[in-house]
Structure formats: C-alpha cells, structure tokens
Amino acid sequence: MEQDSTLASEKKAPMLIVDEISVSYGHIQALKKISIEVYPQEIVVLIGANGAGKTTLLSSILGVRAPSSGKVVFEGKRIDKNSVDKNVRAGLCLVPEGRGVFASMSVLDNLLLGAHHNLANKDKNLARVYEWFPILRKRKDQIAKTLSGGERQMLAIARAMMSDPKLIMIDEPSLGLAPIIVNDIFDILVTLNKEGYTVLLAEQNAFKALKCAHRGYVLETGTISLSGPSSQLLNDPGVKAAYLGA
Amino acid sequence: MQVFIAQILNGLSIGSVYMLLATAFNLLLLVAMIIHFSYPQVVVFCMYIIWLVLKITNNNVFFGILAGVCSAILFNIVSAPLFQKIMKNREEVDINATMVLSMAIGWIITDVLSHAFNNGLPIQFPEEITGSKPLFRVGLISILPGQVLALTIGIIVVAGFFLLLYKTKTGRAFRAIAEDPAGAKLVGIPLVKTGFQSYALSGALGGLTAVLLIMLFHSASPGLGEQVSHKVLAVSIVAGLGNLVGGLVVGLALGILEALVQGYISGNWSNAIAFVVMLVVILVKPRGLFGVKI
Amino acid sequence: MPLSLYYFLSITAVNILMSWALYVPYRVTQLHFITIANMMISGYLAGYLVLHAHVPFVWALLIGFAVGGIIGFIVSLFIGDAPTFSVVIVGFTSIYITRTLVENLPIIGGTMGMFGLPNIGGNPVAHRWIILCILYGLVILCGFLIYRFDHSSIGRAASAVFVDKELASSLGIDIKKLGMLLQTFSCMLAGGVGVLYGFIYRSFHLDFFSFALIGVFMTVLFVGGYSTQWGPLITAPILYGLPLFFPPEIQSWRIVIYGLLLILVLELKPEGFITRKFVHSLGLSFSQKRGKEIYIKEDRQ
C-alpha cells in the first residue's frame, strides 16, 4: 500500500535532522556530508546496496560512532555527541541488522532489556506487545535462540517498543526472511506507523520498502544520490534499474 | 575413613572460597571485560585492612567486617577508571593490557604488604573473628564454625548472585553484556555504568571472601595473595574463561582435591600437586575443559 | 673493578636478556613467564653440576641452555598457539611448582639455598670479568639474532599475528610453528641466563626467583617499548641504575616504584617510549644525512 508523501514537510518541524555528517573508519570515509530529514509519523526508507553506508548512518544517528563533522538534531536538541544510552532514553532506538536479540536469554528477558530505561511502564508495554505479537506471549519463557527468523524479528521490534520510543530505526528487517514473513514484517511496520511511531528504515529490498514508506533516500557509496516521495522513486528509471530488479 | 570425611569437609569450605573468587573474577571478565589477575590479592589486602581495624578498635568484629567489605568495594571502584582507560587504547577491547595492568597492581599490593604491615611477617587474627572452638567433634572430625560459615555463606552468596543475575534489571544487563557487548550497547545498555556496577559487586564479594578466608586460615601473609591468585586463575582456565557454572564446579573440586592431598601427603606438596594437575589439564586443553567464552 | 659496578653491569645484562626473552614470544602476544622457571631449573641444575659433580662451568652453562631449550620445546608442543591467558597461567603454575620442588629438595639447598659456587677462572677478579664477558657476548649475540628475526619474513609474520591472529592464519602463517620457534628460543635463552644469574652471586637462592622478578622484566620491556628490541636496551640500565642513587629506604620499595611506573606507562604511553615509529624516523633521519653526503660528494666530483 502506497503512502501519502505529503504527510511530511508542510506543517510540522522535522523530528530528526541529519545535517551534513561525515563519518570515517580510519582512513576510509563511509559517509560524506550526508543530510536527511525525518518528519513525525513518517516512514522514511534508506535504500542502497551493501556497503553504501546505511548501517553507518543509522548507528551514527544512534550515537555509536560520532561523526567527524556535521551534526544530528533530534526534537530540536543536538545529539551527535551523546552516548547511545542517553539517546535511547531520549526516544531513539535501533533494531539492528541481525535482529539485536540476545540468543541465550529468554523472550521475556529480551523484552525487559528493551525496557531497561523504562521499567516504570513495563507492565503496560508488555501487555501491548503481547497483544500485537501473541506468539511472543506464547514463547515468553523460551530462549530466544529457539525462535524462527520471523519470530526473532518480531521480538526485536517488540523489544524496541518496550522503551516507548519516538523514532524507531530499523536496519534491514527483511534480511534472511522468507517472502511471506517479509510481508508480515512490513505490515507490522505500517501498523506501528499508524499507531503513531515514526520509522526510519534501511533496506536492500527496495520495492517492498518503498511501497510502505512515505519518502525515501538513495545512498550510494556514502552520499545521497536521490531523494523524494516514495512513489517518485518507485517510478524513477535509475532506481528501477539499480534496485528494483526491473 | 575419618580422615577422608574430615578432609572432604575441609575441602568443601575452602572450595567454597575458590567458588566465590572464581565467580567474581568471571563477573569482571564478562561484564567489565577485564582480566583481573590480582583480584585475590585485593582480597588479601582487605584481610590486612580488617586486621588493622581490629587492632585499632580492640577487636570489634562488626567494624572489622564493615571495613573489609568497604575497602574492597572502594579499591575496585578506584581501580575501575585505570582499567577502563587502557581498554580503549587499541580500537577493540585490549584485554591483554588489562592483564598486565592487574599484574602490576598485584605486585604493588604484595610488596606494600611485605613492607608496611607487621614487617612482612604473617599476621594472626584474634579469636573473636575466627572462632576456633569446634562446634562438633567426632574422633578426628571436628567441625569448626569457620568451616560451616564459609560453606553456608558461600552457598548463600552464590545463590544470591544467580538470583541477581536472572531476576533483576542489573543482572539482565550483566548477562546481555556477557553475551554481546556491542549488541547490548545498541539496545541502550550503558556499558560504562554497568561495568562500574560489576566492579562494585565484585568488590563486595571480595570483602566477604576476605572474612571467610580469615575464618578458615586464621592468618595471612603477603605471599598468600599470589598463591590464591594463581589457583583461582588456574581454576578459571580449567573451567573455561567466563564459564560461571564451570568456575563453581572446578573451584569446589580444587578445594576437595587439595584437602584430600593434604590429608594423606605432607603439606608442602599439596599445593604443588594441585598445580601439577591443573597444569596438565591446561597443557592438554589450553582453552579449558568446558570451552572458552572469549 | 668496584663491586657495585660489577653488579650494575651484570644485573643490567640479565635484565636486557630476560626482557628480550619475554619480547620474542610477545611478538605473537604470548607472555611466556615459564622462562622464570627455566632460569631456576637450569640455574640450580648447573649449580649442582659445578658444585657437587665438579663439571666444568662451560659445560654446565651449555647444559643450562640445552635444558631450557628442551623444556621450552616440549611445552610449546602444547601451547605453541594457545591464547595469551593460558600461556601466562602455564608460566605461573610452572614457577610455583619449580619453587616447591626447590624448597623441598635438600640436595640443591632447599630453603637455605646453594652457596659457595667456585670462582670461574680461579679467583674473584677473573670470575667477574669472565661473567661480564659471557653476559655481554650473549647480549651482542642475541641482539644480532633478534635483529635478524625482526627484519625477516618470520618477523613480519609475527607482526601480523600480533595484530590479528585469525587474519594471519588465513594468510597461510602457521601460528603454532611460529609460536613453537619463539617459545623454544626464549626458554633456551632464559635457561642460560638463569645459570649466569646465579654465578653472578656465586649462589642460588629462592629469593632470586620470586614472582616479583617477572615484574622487573615486564617493566623493562613495557616501559622501553614492547614493539622493538631496542626499548629494553635503554630502560634496563636506567631502571636498575637510577634507584641506586637513592637512599636504601627508597630502594627497598623498588618493586612498588616499578609497578607504578608500569601502570603510568600503560595508561599514558601504552606502546612504551621506544616505538617502531620512533625507530623508523631515527633511521630515516640517518639515511637522509647519508644521502646528502653522497650527493655532495658526487657534486664535488
């Protein structure tokens, strides 16, 4: 289902502003003066090939790597020099590539870890998460290692919800999942968004991601090569050739 | 037969001390991500502090124990920034540097103890804290209160530790970091703050262990720290670095092995035999019996 | 020569050699503390042979080297590629076991120690000169051997292993063989040095071989710089010599001072004072000077 891209820009201020950040690993520049914006209640997708810099961008926003130049502003406050846990407490969270689930701990423990900074609301959030993902309630005492790929992805998203985030960043949610499950996951993301969560998502599976997003950015070797409403990107011949398997 | 039973009891009580030391060592390894070679020397240092406080307060056991636990926690917390700074010298966690740092701390402690306390002679602890009258005597088997306390406190503390690990917020954070420090960071677990908590907790464990050692040995010497430290390190590696349950099992086993050897062969050799056994195991399986976590 | 100079020179040589004995295996991240046990075993063995079996010193020294090498080789069969931690524990337990053996064997002196080793060369003066010559001959020999190793393909392989063991082995480097080579060399060296160490004082005593001895060698190595062989050459005389200018009360705290120094270096200058970059830039500036001279000479012609 395509989204209405005019949700962005006109009325509200952006929730997240990434302003010309550059990030290097030693001598290798992974991101070169990247700027993106995310408005409240949008789903924004970053598409690009492996190594284009999507994960670096998300982890830099989170605070794992400080950018060597530029700044990141979240809800009006600069966050690029903050530690990760400070940013998580401020309302950011990341569902990392590879699920971000602790395989040796139980489902419930994983969820409670998500609530590390938000234990006051844990009962309310647990109830909500179980309502959304009944399979997690069923498996709550099982070790996360025993979950299937799709269930782990659900757990990772549920874990993110436990912190009552304002912006959920997700890195490659479809990786390694069967197509049917991927559809389920993207449906969940759209529903989350309808509930009020803002989502910033990095995906190689450009077609499905653009279908459910409002806007998108195309990353190529550390720079933004294209951006715009998702419908526009879906019809762009360059994007089609490179990422939509036309 | 009586010797056998007596020695099993001895072994269990000293084994429970090894258990506590191995657990604290593993905690620091898994959560603070350091190899603290001289943690047992810190414990022996606390024994000396307790001795000093007992002397000053005229054998007030309560203050002695309080001083012991507090000094252990303090020592650990103060040394935490030293460890945390050198961990970041290379891009990844430089765990070898923490080894060298902790060794240096150990040498300093041992030397300070040999110079500044009692002229380097072994110190004796008064009866108020050691309690040397047997609770129960049958032939050669005499159960001293120190042994009973060591074993029961050891079991209670280990049980409490596992309870903390599995049922509390801090424990969850510990386990997350133990499994995957980078993943824990991404989820928002504060690595430095949680690491600090592990320093404090192992300090508390250390203070308690110091009291138990006093009850079991009734005396301490500057060389005790090195001796115990090498045993605990060997226990950790035989069990597999970072293996909590393995540490418990091997710690108890070592205590019993030592006690049995002591019961039947002259004391000088008991330590050496324990080390020979562990050396052989390490040579054959350098990564530990139950596998390495690191 | 005055006795104090003799002790200064001889102990400095021992410190240099033993720091090198630790330097070599550390090139592949292994802290090979079993070398202290090698010192003891070869030392007491040689002492016994000379004192009680009347074996000539030269033979006893060579046997000391050989025994060290054999022990090093056998142990390296097991821990040639073991993680640092295991190697350290093997070292500590070996030292402990050796100390217990020495304590409880009266023929080699037990806790009293072995005294009255004969003067090599017949009189005290000749003895001291011979010991110093052997020690510094060894320093030159080992310095040369280590230099050749560092600048060979094996040396480069070792550097690769230090940075990333897995990557190195995927490049085809045989970690175990390399570890075995370095460990055996290190133990052989330590055996010989152990013999000489006792003969400096003409006695062997347990106090010579305490765990704090590791502290001395480690401080020399790490403060000097563990990535090149030149660090220990500079720090050994300084670290041993400087305290000699202080009153004895301060000198007795030597180990504490070394420990604090080691901690300071680890925190502030983790690579030590003499790093590879430093040596490289020194070399560059020398070669630039020579280049200029040749240029001028050619110009004149």
DSSP codes, B184-217: HHHHT--HHHHHHHHHHHHHHHHHHHHHHHHHHH
Residues of B in contact with C89 (CB under 8 A): 230, 233-234, 237, 282
Note which residues in 140-199 of chain B have CB less than 8 A from chain A.
Answer: 169, 172-173, 175-176, 179-180, 183-190, 193
Report residue B214 as tokens: 């006093």
Mapped onto helix, strand or coil, the DSSP state of residue A67 is coil
Domain tally for chain C? 1
User: Can you give the C-alpha Rg of chain C in angstroms?
Assistant: 21
pLDDT at C149: 94
Residues A56 and A145 occupy one common structural domain: no
Residues A130 and A175 occupy one common structural domain: no
- Residue B244, CA distances (Å) to B20, B25, B163, B247 in order: 10, 9, 13, 5
User: H-type helices in chain C, by residue range?
Assistant: 3-26, 34-51, 57-79, 84-104, 124-150, 153-163, 165-170, 175-201, 212-224, 230-241, 248-251, 254-268, 276-300
pLDDT at A245: 63
What is the ipTM for the molecules in this complex?
0.87
C84/chain B closest Cα distance in angstroms: 7
B105/chain C closest Cα distance in angstroms: 7
State whether residue B116 sits within 8 Å of chain C by CB. no
Residues A87 and A205 occupy one common structural domain: yes
- C137 Cβ neighbours under 8 A, 6+ residues apart: none
The dihedrals phi and psi of A45, each to the nearest 5 degrees, come to -120, 140
Residue C77 within a domain = yes
State whether residue C121 sits within 8 Å of chain B by CB. no
Residues A75 and A114 occupy one common structural domain: no
> B186–A100: do the CB atoms touch at under 8 Å?
yes
Please say if the pLDDT value at position A218 is more than 80: yes
Q: Please say whether the dihedral angle defined by the alpha carbons of residues A6, A10, A13 and A14, taken in this order, is positive or negative.
A: positive
Neighbours of A42 (CB within 10 A): 25
Mapped onto helix, strand or coil, the DSSP state of residue B237 is helix
Q: How far apart are CA B175 and CA B166, in angstroms?
A: 8
B196/chain A closest Cα distance in angstroms: 15
Comparing CA positions, the residue from A92, A61, A43 lying closest to residue A198 is A43
Q: A106-142: per-residue pLDDT in tens?
A: 999 999 999 998 889 889 999 999 998 999 999 999 9
Q: A36-45: per-residue pLDDT in tens?
A: 999 999 999 9
Task: Give the residue, A1 or B141, on which the prediction is more confident.
Answer: B141
Please say if the pLDDT value at position A99 is more than 90: no
Residue A187 within a domain = no
Residues A153 and A142 occupy one common structural domain: yes
Q: How far apart are CA B12 and CA B20, in angstroms?
A: 12
| Terminal-to-terminal C-alpha distance of chain C | 51
Residue A127 within a domain = yes
Q: How far apart are CA A233 and CA A227, in angstroms?
A: 7
Residues A82 and A26 occupy one common structural domain: yes
Report residue B78 as tokens: 């103060």
The dihedrals phi and psi of A220, each to the nearest 5 degrees, come to -135, 120
Average pLDDT of the residues in B95-100 = 85
3-state SS record for C141-167: HHHHHHHHHHCCHHHHHHHHHHHCHHH
Report residue B210 as tokens: 């110091």
Q: How far apart are CA A217 and CA A231, in angstroms?
A: 12
Q: Is there a contact between A108 and A141 (Cβ–Cβ < 8 Å)? A: yes
The domains of chain B are located at: 19-224
pLDDT at B76: 93
Residues A133 and A171 occupy one common structural domain: no
> C260–B108: do the CB atoms touch at under 8 Å?
yes
Q: What angle do CA C38, B251, B157 make, to 5 degrees?
A: 140
Nearest residue on chain B to C226, alpha-carbon basis = B97
Q: Which residues pair with A94 in a beta bridge?
A: A169
User: By residue range, what is the domain housing residue C50?
Assistant: 3-210
Q: What angle do CA A29, A31, A33 make, to 5 degrees?
A: 115
Residues A53 and A157 occupy one common structural domain: no
Q: Is there a contact between A189 and A199 (Cβ–Cβ < 8 Å)? A: yes
Comparing CA positions, the residue from C155, C156, C187, C192 lying closest to residue C65 is C192
Please say if the pLDDT value at position A206 is more than 70: yes
pLDDT at A217: 93
| Terminal-to-terminal C-alpha distance of chain B | 42
Treating both helix axes as pointing N-terminal to C-terminal, what angle do B39-56 and B95-116 enclose, rounded to 10 degrees? 30
User: H-type helices in B28-88, by residue range?
Assistant: 39-56, 61-87
Residue A192 within a domain = no
Q: How far apart are CA A94 and CA A99, in angstroms?
A: 10
Least confident of A175-189, B80-94, B175-189, C216-230: B80-94
Treating both helix axes as pointing N-terminal to C-terminal, what angle do C175-201 and C124-150 enclose, rounded to 10 degrees? 160
Please say if the pLDDT value at position A171 is more than 70: yes
Domain stops at, among A122, A141, A165:
A165
Residues of B in contact with A62 (CB under 8 A): 186
> A102–B176: do the CB atoms touch at under 8 Å?
yes
Residue C148 within a domain = yes
> B187–A114: do the CB atoms touch at under 8 Å?
yes
Report residue A81 as tokens: 């020099």
Residue A76 within a domain = yes
Q: Please, how many CA atoms are within 13 Å of residue C109, restricted to the half-sphere of its CB?
A: 21
Top residue of B279, B281, B287, B293 to mutate, by most chain C CBs within 10 Å, is: B279
- B292 Cβ neighbours under 8 A, 6+ residues apart: B240, B241, B242, C83
Instruction: Find the CATH number of the domain harbouring A217.
Output: 3.40.50.300
Q: Is there a contact between C69 and C188 (Cβ–Cβ < 8 Å)? A: yes
DSSP state of A143: B
Domain tally for chain A? 2
DSSP state of B280: H
pLDDT at C3: 85
Q: A134-168: per-residue pLDDT in tens?
A: 999 999 999 999 998 889 999 999 999 999 999 99
Please say if the pLDDT value at position B21 is more than 50: yes
User: By residue range, what is the domain housing residue A223?
Assistant: 1-91+167-181+199-246
Residues A175 and A76 occupy one common structural domain: yes
Average pLDDT of the residues in B209-232 = 89
Give the confidence band of B89 by pLDDT, cuts at 50, 70, 90.
Answer: low
Residue C216 within a domain = no
State whether residue B137 sits within 8 Å of chain A by CB. no
Q: How far apart are CA B102 and CA B85, in angstroms?
A: 13
Residues A177 and A74 occupy one common structural domain: yes
Comparing CA positions, the residue from B122, B148, B106 lying closest to residue B232 is B106
State whether residue B227 sits within 8 Å of chain C by CB. yes
Average pLDDT of the residues in B183-189 = 90
Task: Give the residue, C256 or B92, on which the prediction is more confident.
Answer: C256
Amino acid at C73: F
Residue A188 within a domain = no
Q: Is there a contact between B96 and C222 (Cβ–Cβ < 8 Å)? A: no
Average pLDDT of the residues in B65-85 = 91
Q: What is the pLDDT along chain C (301 residues), one digit of tens a residue?
A: 788 889 999 999 999 999 999 999 999 999 999 999 999 999 999 998 988 888 888 999 999 999 999 999 999 999 988 888 889 999 999 999 999 888 888 777 777 788 888 888 788 888 889 999 999 999 999 999 999 999 999 999 999 998 888 888 888 889 999 999 999 999 999 999 999 999 998 888 888 888 889 999 999 999 998 888 999 999 999 998 888 888 888 888 889 999 999 999 998 888 888 888 888 888 777 776 655 555 555 444 4
Residue A208 within a domain = yes
Q: Please say whether the dihedral angle defined by the alpha carbons of residues C154, C155, C160 and C161, taken in this order, is positive or negative.
A: positive
pLDDT at B291: 64
Residues A69 and A4 occupy one common structural domain: yes
Q: Is there a contact between C15 and C216 (Cβ–Cβ < 8 Å)? A: yes
Residues A131 and A142 occupy one common structural domain: yes
Average pLDDT of the residues in B235-260 = 88
> B183–A102: do the CB atoms touch at under 8 Å?
yes
- A109 Cβ neighbours under 8 A, 6+ residues apart: A102, B172, B175
Q: Is there a contact between A177 and A25 (Cβ–Cβ < 8 Å)? A: no
Q: Which residues pair with A227 in a beta bridge?
A: A217
Please say if the pLDDT value at position B199 is more than 50: yes
> A102–B185: do the CB atoms touch at under 8 Å?
no
- A126 Cβ neighbours under 8 A, 6+ residues apart: A111, A115, A162
Q: A4-28: per-residue pLDDT in tens?
A: 555 555 567 889 999 999 998 878 8
Q: Is there a contact between C72 and C188 (Cβ–Cβ < 8 Å)? A: yes
Q: How far apart are CA B149 and CA B208, in angstroms?
A: 11
